[in-house]
A and B are shown apart, each in its own frame.
Chain A
């Protein structure tokens, strides 16, 4: 087992080094950050001096060596644009992204499992077909379109209400009532500071701000899990042991949830684990649409500015998250599935 872990650990280090190299190379070719950092009438000398001060004139291998050495100490330099240490900036932004991802993951898991079981059990009902059709939209519409549609429907429309308008079908609501259900379209709302962590989960305003971005970010994964659970359910329900369980006279409830659902969950957990990594790394678009002050937004803004220190730090960090998740999954599999530990078994026999 130890040899296995060491082996995987070495692979992880290799992957990280390659990612660091790629991040470094990309940032070197994205453009000249100096022009953005100085005013339009900065002189050539000013520009040249700044370039020298930042070490942009050194040969690429020297710059890369410095980047790795400093990176290992957790020092990714100082943002060109915001003039603050990158590590501080990322630490400030991390809570916003993680809370958003948490909410999105809960929505996706709960919605996906419930919807999947429902459509799996009643696969011919009209309601199931409707859910499946709508879920197709969830998979195929790009995230930013969903985000903008939600903003328009839940933030703009309720506020552009004209008195006496039948906004929601036959329910006649006054504009004040409609306005009251309007949701905020941007930002994180009121947050509470818990040490170095800022949380929006402890205020009503924070929750209101979480609704739209949470749904937007979860939608793709919700439909993914829903479809997965449904097909797994259909599969499992056809197996012999379910038939035997029914023959034994067990209640529908016991068969469906005690036996069928339990056996569908193994692949769901695998997929969900991997998807959480991608939620963290790719919440960028949702964060941009909702001006959610997380790491993804920081990254996008630094790309537009060629703010190299932030870009490289973010790419390295995203890679680190994936490497850690994959490493954990690998080790867990090995712990669960003895076949993956053949090397240890071999030594034990010898």
Chain B
């Protein structure tokens, strides 16, 4: 053996030893870096912030993209890409942009990007058109000022646009992503799997449905960085049992959707904890008060729900606290209002349900209304939309049987449910729905969509399939829409609230709980809108 060959073998052996040792050596180094791993049952379906108007997608993309004004931990607006905003006249809004903000590729943010993004969100293929209903024109005034003209006074524009994220114009144009991906074309839009924003994290890699990796943006404009992470790995784990197992084994640090049946186990596990609070969504029941004869009822020739006494008897016979105790295992927050705490316009003093009626009292009320024997009606319920939706309806069936109202339950999957019960079909007599004013975080969103008189032309009451209608309420809601004086506005909100609750127009049941689970060593902030922000995560 020559000296040369021996050297080669030695070198090879050393290299091999190094290669084998490498994983062991790198393991502690990895442990020092704070990698935050978390999972949800569904994936972020697109990296394009205007492709779907959906809580989870928007919450996730807010790590990469930012709005003009963002929400803080209490859901109040605070400056983000805009430092100042307001109205110069009732129909003109201005936004003064923050200077020195850079996109992840280093290019500076200017008014051009903002105008481009707003137009893209208001353009073809976008699912955010609802946020632009009042907008007439968007224009650049200077490099750091944008003005918006509205058709009618719109006091909620800045609040709504906390959901509209700003993209890089140059990046979108370079990659032919000037408009949102189009389902009718058999091709993928570049922005579906790539992102270019200004936010606290950059998109490092993305395998749809498998793994999405983010890394901190070191040049973020906000110097008050609250997280201590070096990497974020998001995985989709659709199966509930697997998701919980992965959390318990420490493979992931946080689970966004926790199956209700596992909350106890996770709360007892010494390594994990549960975070819960009321969600902004209110689950409620509604009546068909429009048709002269109900589609599904034993009563012929008239509609019992048109009588307020019938609505009141039913309302006051549903024991929401019992539903909370039994069906919801304590994970619900009973309510008397159609809006939840945290939403602008929630009035705490009015959030009191009238006392429950004894069965004989309720029966008497029904008898006074002309139904001494009670009646039969069909209740429509989804089976896979809200937490325990079908079970809640089953509980209600039992409660109403005691006052002689026989409920036939028709429960079906959301894929069929909404097409059936919503307008224009409104093929139901008595239904369940849940609503979160996620567009504006303001009670007016609930008023205009759920409670105002249904009218296709004015686009009001679009989600009011029971077609409850009260002219006094409509008048107030229209005024609330354009009133810019907060005190006056709040007074009108209180008055309008008294009208619909006094009419027993709807039966608000509860807010379901937002439930997250995490390892004990993870600190995070839970907001009522169920919007999980990684910029507030700390790993100890």
Q: Of B53, B185, B237, B245, which contacts A78 at CB under 8 A?
A: B185
Whether A44 contacts B423 by the Cβ 8 Å rule is yes
Q: How many whole Å from B120's CB to the nearest CB in chain A?
A: 16
Q: Name B's A-contacting residues (CB within 8 A).
A: 23, 45-46, 51-54, 127, 129-130, 181, 183-189, 192-193, 207-211, 235-239, 241-243, 245-246, 248-251, 269, 271, 413-416, 418-419, 423-424, 435-436, 438-439, 445, 449, 456, 459, 462-463
Query: What are 9 A-B pairs at a CB distance below 8 A?
Result: A39-B54, A42-B127, A43-B462, A53-B184, A84-B188, A151-B241, A185-B251, A186-B242, A188-B210
Q: Known contacts A44-B456, A288-B238: does B249 contact A38 (CB below 8 Å)?
A: no
Sorting the interface of chain A by its residue count into under 10, 10 to 19, 20 to 34 or 35 or more gives 35 or more
Which residues 50-88 in A have Cβ within 8 Å of B in the complex?
50, 53-54, 75, 77-78, 80-85, 88
Q: Of A44, A187, A298, which contacts B211 at CB under 8 A?
A: A187
Looking across the interface, which residue of chain B has its beta carbon closest to that of A151? B245
Q: Of B188, B246, B269, which contacts A186 at CB under 8 A?
A: B246
Which chain A residues lie closer than 8 Å to B127 at the CB level? 38-39, 42
Q: Known contacts A44-B456, A148-B241: does B419 contact A35 (CB below 8 Å)?
A: yes
Whether A44 contacts B183 by the Cβ 8 Å rule is no
CA distance A306 to B416 in the complex (A): 10
Which chain B residues lie closer than 8 Å to A148 at the CB level? 241-242, 245
Which residues 155-194 in A have Cβ within 8 Å of B in the complex?
155-156, 158-160, 182, 184-188
Which residues 282-331 in A have Cβ within 8 Å of B in the complex?
288-291, 293, 297-298, 300-301, 306
Q: Known contacts A31-B413, A38-B127, A42-B127: does B188 contact A85 (CB below 8 Å)?
A: yes
CA distance A188 to B250 in the complex (A): 17
CA distance A40 to B446 in the complex (A): 12
Q: How many whole Å from A233's CB to the nearest CB in chain B?
A: 38
Whether A185 contacts B245 by the Cβ 8 Å rule is yes
Whether B418 contacts A35 by the Cβ 8 Å rule is yes
Looking across the interface, which residue of chain B has its beta carbon closest to that of A154? B249
Which chain B residues lie closer than 8 Å to A290 at the CB level? 242
Whether A39 contacts B52 by the Cβ 8 Å rule is yes
Q: How many whole Å from A82's CB to the nearest CB in chain B?
A: 6
CA distance A155 to B237 in the complex (A): 15
A36 within 8 A of B: yes
The 5 closest A-B CB pairs, nearest first, are: A31-B415, A39-B53, A32-B419, A159-B249, A293-B210
Whether A156 contacts B248 by the Cβ 8 Å rule is yes
Whether B424 contacts A155 by the Cβ 8 Å rule is no
Q: Known contacts A43-B459, A82-B45: does B235 contact A187 (CB below 8 Å)?
A: yes
A240 within 8 A of B: no
Whether A38 contacts B53 by the Cβ 8 Å rule is yes
A41 within 8 A of B: yes
Interface centre among B185, B192, B416 (most CB of A within 10 A): B416
Whether A182 contacts B249 by the Cβ 8 Å rule is yes
Q: Known contacts A54-B183, A85-B188: does B439 contact A41 (CB below 8 Å)?
A: yes
Q: How many whole Å from A246's CB to the nearest CB in chain B?
A: 50
Which chain B residues lie closer than 8 Å to A188 at the CB level? 210
Which chain A residues lie closer than 8 Å to B45 at the CB level? 81-83
Whether A187 contacts B210 by the Cβ 8 Å rule is yes
CA distance A148 to B413 in the complex (A): 26
Looking across the interface, which residue of chain B has its beta carbon closest to that of A147? B242
Whether B236 contacts A291 by the Cβ 8 Å rule is yes
Whether A184 contacts B251 by the Cβ 8 Å rule is yes
CA distance A128 to B423 in the complex (A): 66
Whether B181 contacts A83 by the Cβ 8 Å rule is yes
Q: Of A35, A186, A293, A297, which contacts B414 at CB under 8 A?
A: A35
Whether B235 contacts A186 by the Cβ 8 Å rule is yes
Which chain A residues lie closer than 8 Å to B435 at the CB level? 40
Q: Known contacts A75-B186, A83-B188: does B424 contact A301 (CB below 8 Å)?
A: no
Interface centre among A34, A39, A301 (most CB of B within 10 A): A39
Which chain A residues lie closer than 8 Å to B129 at the CB level? 46
Which chain A residues lie closer than 8 Å to B238 at the CB level? 288, 291, 297, 300-301
Whether A289 contacts B242 by the Cβ 8 Å rule is yes
Whether A44 contacts B462 by the Cβ 8 Å rule is yes
Whether B413 contacts A42 by the Cβ 8 Å rule is no
CA distance A301 to B238 in the complex (A): 8
Which chain A residues lie closer than 8 Å to B414 at the CB level? 31, 35-36
Which chain B residues lie closer than 8 Å to A44 at the CB level? 423-424, 456, 462
Whether A37 contacts B52 by the Cβ 8 Å rule is yes
Which chain B residues lie closer than 8 Å to A78 at the CB level? 183, 185-188
Which chain A residues lie closer than 8 Å to B249 at the CB level? 155-156, 158-160, 182, 185
A152 within 8 A of B: yes
CA distance A188 to B246 in the complex (A): 14
CA distance A187 to B439 in the complex (A): 35
Whether A83 contacts B209 by the Cβ 8 Å rule is no
Q: How many whole Å from B204's CB to the nearest CB in chain A?
A: 15
A134 within 8 A of B: no
A130 within 8 A of B: no
Interface centre among A46, A54, A291 (most CB of B within 10 A): A291
Interface centre among B193, B236, B424 (most CB of A within 10 A): B236
A30 within 8 A of B: yes
Q: How many whole Å from B193's CB to the nearest CB in chain A?
A: 8
Which chain A residues lie closer than 8 Å to B236 at the CB level? 291
Which chain B residues lie closer than 8 Å to A184 at the CB level? 251
Looking across the interface, which residue of chain B has its beta carbon closest to that of A303? B415
Q: Known contacts A39-B130, A41-B439, A82-B209: does B245 contact A155 (CB below 8 Å)?
A: yes
Whether B183 contacts A83 by the Cβ 8 Å rule is yes
Looking across the interface, which residue of chain B has its beta carbon closest to that of A188? B210
Which chain A residues lie closer than 8 Å to B210 at the CB level? 187-188, 293
CA distance A46 to B45 in the complex (A): 20
Given contacts A32-B419, A186-B251, 8 further A-B contacts (CB under 8 A): A32-B418, A77-B186, A78-B186, A83-B188, A160-B249, A182-B249, A187-B211, A293-B207
CA distance A78 to B45 in the complex (A): 13
Q: How many whole Å from B433's CB to the nearest CB in chain A?
A: 10
Looking across the interface, which residue of chain A has its beta carbon closest to that of B128? A39
Whether A41 contacts B415 by the Cβ 8 Å rule is no
Q: How many whole Å from A289's CB to the nearest CB in chain B?
A: 5
CA distance A42 to B127 in the complex (A): 8
CA distance A185 to B415 in the complex (A): 31
Which residues 202-249 in A have Cβ within 8 Å of B in the complex?
204
Q: How many whole Å from B512's CB to the nearest CB in chain A?
A: 15
Whether B239 contacts A88 by the Cβ 8 Å rule is no
Interface centre among A37, A204, A300 (most CB of B within 10 A): A37
Q: How many whole Å from B438's CB to the nearest CB in chain A?
A: 7
CA distance A77 to B243 in the complex (A): 31
Whether A291 contacts B46 by the Cβ 8 Å rule is no
CA distance A85 to B182 in the complex (A): 11
Which chain B residues lie closer than 8 Å to A38 at the CB level? 52-53, 127
CA distance A262 to B45 in the complex (A): 52
Which chain A residues lie closer than 8 Å to B235 at the CB level? 186-187, 291
CA distance A151 to B184 in the complex (A): 42
Q: How many whole Å from A37's CB to the nearest CB in chain B?
A: 7
Whether B53 contacts A84 by the Cβ 8 Å rule is no
CA distance A88 to B187 in the complex (A): 10
Whether B53 contacts A83 by the Cβ 8 Å rule is no
Looking across the interface, which residue of chain A has its beta carbon closest to that of B129? A46
Whether A41 contacts B53 by the Cβ 8 Å rule is yes
Which chain B residues lie closer than 8 Å to A187 at the CB level? 210-211, 235, 237
Which chain A residues lie closer than 8 Å to B245 at the CB level? 148, 151-152, 155-156, 185
Whether B186 contacts A85 by the Cβ 8 Å rule is yes
